[in-house]
């Protein structure tokens, strides 16, 4: 038996347009985002991040009380559980504007790191936000981290660098997340998650749209309930958390690649079996 090595580079791009253009042109060799492609592209019709939140945390999420974290029962709780370095000044300023537009709302963040808390408090105070409306909690173990996410009403994503696994965690609790995709890969992950989940209405076009979505969710309780119910149901009906399907699709693509090589066929683009299929189809 002759040992053969097949190299499979993975290209990370913020948009699929370069890939579509290369496939559409019929070219099998070229350059995509600085990565040389010599033998065609292989596509997998899935969102970029495939976290196994649903595998790590049971479907039945234990009930947690807001009092445990100093959260008012009657308030609209906006949250973000990312590391604080992801919250740049324009984002925090936008969140302050949202707090001003949504009465009786608070912002729930993590001491991640601990010494970031006074900086955030000072920034918000300078924009006339009562610092009692900013609540910080400590970083927690995975199970508690995911479980307490259900206490928030809405997650405000960080546009510059999105929540990746953190976004998956909050969506698993049924809490809707608002995002605003920019130009980099790190800024477009959350929008991919939301499109895969089937809630594109949570993807903002710009800063004004982001604030508009947050204001509606924060002031229209009936609409908030509808969106939360939609997100909760989509956890188990969309492709986002279907890790088994993702693995099965990947295995099929690898088999296709190897078979083409073993049969001595010339290189070409290989499309996923699921290209063009219903994204909510959870069959293998």
d(CA 100, CA 50): 35
Residue intervals in the chain for CATH 3.30.720.150: 16-63
d(CA 136, CA 69): 8
Average confidence score pLDDT of the chain: 84
CATH of domain 69-237: 3.40.50.2000
pLDDT at 191 over 90: yes
Q: Which two tokens stand for residue 204?
A: 């903002």
* Residue 123 confidence (pLDDT): 99
What topology is assigned to 16-63 in CATH? Answer: 3.30.720
- Give the HSE-up count for residue 34: Cα atoms under 13 Å, Cβ half-sphere: 2
Q: What is the pLDDT of residues 134-184, one digit of tens each?
A: 999 999 988 889 999 999 999 999 999 999 999 999 999 999 999 999 999
DSSP per position, 16-54: SHHHHHHHHHT-SSEEETTEEESS--B---S-S----HH
* Residue 280 confidence (pLDDT): 43
The pTM of the full predicted model, rounded to 2 decimals, is 0.77
- Give the angle subtended at the CA of 259 by the CAs of 45 and 267, to the nearest 5°: 75
d(CA 175, CA 169): 9
Residue intervals in the chain for CATH 3.40.50.2000: 69-237
* Residue 43 confidence (pLDDT): 59
């Amino acid at each position: 038996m002759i040992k053969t090595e097949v190299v499979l580079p993975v290209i990370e791009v913020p948009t699929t347009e370069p890939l579509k253009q290369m496939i559409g042109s019929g070219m099998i060799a070229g350059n995509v985002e600085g990565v040389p492609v010599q033998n065609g592209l292989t596509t997998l019709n899935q969102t970029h991040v495939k976290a196994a939140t649903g595998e790590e945390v049971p479907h039945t999420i234990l009930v947690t009380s807001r009092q445990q974290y100093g959260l008012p029962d009657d308030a609209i709780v906006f949250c973000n559980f990312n590391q604080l370095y992801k919250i740049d000044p324009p984002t925090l300023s936008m969140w302050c504007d949202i707090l001003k537009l949504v009465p009786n709302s608070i912002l729930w963040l993590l001491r991640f790191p601990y010494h970031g808390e006074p900086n955030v408090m000072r920034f918000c105070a300078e924009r006339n936000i009562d610092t009692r409306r900013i609540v910080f909690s400590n970083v927690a173990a995975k199970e508690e981290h995911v479980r307490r996410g259900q206490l928030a009403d809405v997650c405000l994503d960080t546009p510059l660098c999105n929540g990746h696994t953190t976004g998956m965690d909050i969506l698993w609790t049924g809490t809707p997340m608002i995002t605003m995709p920019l130009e980099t890969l790190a800024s477009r992950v959350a929008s991919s998650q939301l499109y895969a989940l089937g809630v594109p209405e949570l993807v903002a076009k710009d800063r004004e749209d982001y604030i508009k979505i947050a204001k509606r969710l924060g002031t229209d309780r009936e609409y908030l309930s509808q969106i939360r119910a939609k997100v909760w149901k989509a956890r188990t009906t969309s492709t986002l958390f279907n890790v088994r399907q993702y693995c099965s699709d990947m295995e099929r693509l690898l088999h296709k690649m190897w078979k083409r090589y073993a049969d001595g066929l010339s290189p070409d683009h290989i499309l996923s079996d699921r290209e063009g299929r219903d994204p909510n189809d959870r069959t293998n």
